[in-house]
Amino acid sequence: MSQKLGTLEELPQDYRDAMSAAGVAPLWPMMRNVLPHGAPNPVTRPGYWNYEKLRPLLHRAGELTPVEKAERRVLVLSDPGRGTGAMQATASIYLGLQYLLPGETAPAHVHTPSAVRIIVEGKGGYTVVDGEKLPMEEGDLVLTPGGEWHDHGHEGTEPVVWLDALDLPLFYYLEGSYAKEGPLQAKRNRPDASQVEYRSAGLAPARKLKSGPRRYPMMRYPWVRTEAALREMAKYTDEGPAELDFVNPETGDDVLPTMGFTAKMLAAGQKHEPPLRSSSAAYHVIRGRGVSTINGERFEWGAKDTFTAPVFARITHEAAEESFLIRVHDRPLQEKLGYYEERAR
């Protein structure tokens, strides 16, 4: 049976003062806050960002702040539950829209958190990760794993915009977030691994004796392939939408230690009610139009919009036209911690 626990106010003032002076506090008034019954009690609230509204603000950032003054020219998507300025969109996921002008470069650095980029608009942008030049085309997923040097550049003629997702909140909470700076990297003169070693699903470079799988063999997942794969799958999937996880082509594992990525295709009129998951999520709309309801909040979304869901959210998606979404989530982290869970609605 659940007992009602004692409060701080019930305790005599002299005892409270003595505890404070001694640098201690009673657990019992806080017990249900840190350990609620049955399910967590998230601070995170569902969020929605309309790209058309953000676009002019990004352009102005380009006029107002040269990239040299920004290092990374980014507008951060703050969790409504924590308020504007919060450096997180959910408890574990940071989101920002990054803006780079033709000819600009964002300097090389390396840091403990991992990042992924989902390309929103513009041609000619690229990221160099550990000497590998990764072209950024709309909808591509580009990894920057923690501990890998990376810089950005732009050879096109129009501004490029991408969505950054990082596990920064986690590293910051752990007091483990820091960076080192360095010179722009020399680029190897060859296409990225998705065009060379990992052109075809199920095929990987022949293994050498005693060489284990590489941790980050492929760091770019071209959208054209993801969409083609979803379309084929959708033809033969009768239960729920076609969904694909982005995996390490050597091991089948999640592509990053803490963050996972899933692409989903919804046909026009298709409705999807996923189970309640212990993971939090950010959805980015690659193409299409629809409505999602998250814990009762209704978001009408279109191409390039982003929205978020807290842990154990009750989610309903309904596509008004054929739609493609990428979900960024923290299931890999939760599985490593041993508590990832799905509950029936």
* Whole-number Å distance between alpha carbons of 149 and 128: 8
In angstroms, the CA 129 to CA 121 distance is 20
Residue 19: partners with Cβ closer than 8 Å, 6 or more residues away = 25, 26
- Separation between Cα atoms, residue 320 and residue 305, nearest integer Å: 15
117-176 binders of ligand 1HN (CB under 6 A)? 150, 164, 166, 168
Q: Of 73 and 317, which CB lies nearer to ligand 1HN in the complex structure? A: 73
User: CB of residue 6 vs ligand 1HN: minimum separation in angstroms?
Assistant: 42
d(CA 301, CA 292): 8
**313-340: b or e for each residue (b if 16 or more CB lie within 10 Å)?**
bebebebeebbbbbbbbbbbbbeeeeeb
**How near is the Cβ of 293 to ligand 1HN at its closest, in Å?**
30
What separation in angstroms does the CA of 343 have from each of 97, 137, 253? Answer: 32, 36, 23
Q: State the number of binding residues for ligand 1HN (CB under 6 A).
A: 10
Nearest distance from C-beta of residue 110 to ligand 1HN, angstroms: 9
In the complex, least distance from residue 236 CB atom to ligand 1HN, rounded to whole angstroms: 38
Q: Select 93 or 230, whichever has its Cβ closest to ligand 1HN.
A: 93
Q: How many CB atoms lie within 10 A of CB 28?
A: 13
Distance, in Å, from the CA atom of 316 to the CA atom of 64, rounded to the nearest integer, reads 39
Q: How near is the Cβ of 96 to ligand 1HN at its closest, in Å? A: 5
Of 133, 160, 138, 146, nearest to 73 by C-alpha is 160
Q: Tell me the closest approach of the beta carbon of residue 97 to ligand 1HN, in angstroms.
A: 10
Query: Does 115 engage in binding with ligand 1HN (CB under 6 A)?
Result: yes
- SS3 of 73-88: the string is CEEECCCCCCCCCCCC
Q: Which of 47, 96, 122, 288 binds ligand 1HN (CB under 6 A)?
A: 96
Q: In this complex, which beta carbon is closest to ligand 1HN, that of residue 111 or of residue 304?
A: 111
Q: Which is nearer to ligand 1HN, 113 or 249 (CB)?
A: 113
Closer Cβ to ligand 1HN, 150 or 317, answer by number? 150
Q: Is 329 in the site for ligand 1HN (CB under 6 A)?
A: no
- Considering only residues 11 through 70, tell me which ones interact with ligand 1HN, judged by CB under 6 A: none
Binding footprint of ligand 1HN on the chain (CB under 6 A): 72, 74, 96, 98, 111, 115, 150, 164, 166, 168
